Structure 1
């Protein structure tokens, strides 16, 4: 009797663990694998009380050897729709640059720094129910930042 209870408990815990694992995979499963030269990077957001008060900023970029100038990469994050599912995913097609200010640096010292990709499409709606799936060229890191709206509203002046 005692062994069967322990066996039942062990089987139940195993089933629960595999269901949780399957649920996580299910979120990503319908999305295609990354093509050659690209990586698929996934963001899972925590649930918020009122998700309309939040946005997600995608901050993609590369670690590059830079001097004292401000460096930027260029690109556009395009929204695509997963056929048959209606889910959105995002593709950073081409990253151009780096572009730089052309100031004369007092020394020729260079350091490794994260250089962001700037362009259109990087602010997204917050939705914790679906993952944010981004396909980016190899070597490009995908980071994100969550923005939230304050409670206070300010009135515009009529002029």
Structure 2
């Protein structure tokens, strides 16, 4: 490769890297700031070799002091909405409803524990996509945590029946 070609290739890679960074910053312009009483939280996922083999579980809740024996949850749901004009997904929890739980008898002298209590219902699993931020709008005081789920390599057959 001659010197002008090498310089062109190096410059092209630099421009591509700068464009990727600018694209990530531009993507955040699509997401409006949080409305009053809400917080906008942003998750940037690392690139994976095969992102179709992964899912992201979003867990919305807050740390609450409870007994250690009962299971608790908050009312509410994570709603997927489209960012108008961009087509990007955003996730909105409009309210963290009342906390409910099981009613097992507990020793009144037992110490309370701090636990992260989440929304009830089925888990919210979303597509893994490192090219776009995962943007979640929640009521002030709520937290968002996440887990990455990975598919195993092995696939099993399904029998006719």
TM-score band, normalised by shorter chain: 0.7 to 0.9
TM value normalised by structure 2? 0.80
Task: Please give the root-mean-square deviation of Cα atoms over the aligned residues, in Å.
Answer: 2.1
| Contact 1:77/1:121 (<8 A) preserved | no
Report deviation, 1:118. 2.4
TM-aligned CA deviation for residue 21 of structure 1: 7.2
Unpaired runs of 5+ in structure 2?
1-17
In structure 1, the residue matched to 2:134 is 132
Q: How does 1:17-32 map to 2 (within 5 A)?
A: 24-32=24-32
Equivalent-residue separation in structure 1 for 2:89 and 2:123 (angstroms): 13
1:20-70 residue CA offsets vs partner (Å, 9 max, x unmatched): 875553231221110011000000011111111100000111011101311
Runs of 4 or more consecutive aligned structure 1 residues displaced over 4 Å after TM superposition: 18-24
Aligned to 1:88: 89
**SS at 2:46's partner residue?**
coil
**Residues 1:121 and 1:70: Cα distance change in structure 2 (over 3 Å):** closer
Q: 1:54: which partner in 2?
A: 54
Deviation, structure 1 residue 71:
1.0
Any stretches of 5+ residues in structure 1 without a counterpart? 1-17
User: What is the CA distance between 1:19 and its match in structure 2?
Assistant: 8.0
Distance 1:34 1:50 in 2: 32
Residue 111 (str. 1) matches residue 120 (str. 2): no
More strand by share: 1
Is this contact kept in 2: 1:77–1:120, CA < 8 A?
A: no
Displacement of 1:153 in angstroms is 1.0
Q: Give the superposition deviation at 1:109.
A: 2.4
After superposition, the C-alpha distances for 1:76-123 in whole angstroms (9 at most, x for unaligned) are 111111111111111011222211110001234212211111235711
Number of aligned residues: 142
Contact 2:62 2:141 in 1 (8 A): yes
Correspondence for 1:4: none
- Mean alpha-carbon deviation: is it higher for 22-31 or for 146-155? 22-31
TM-score (norm 1): 0.81
State the 1:158 CA deviation. Answer: 3.3
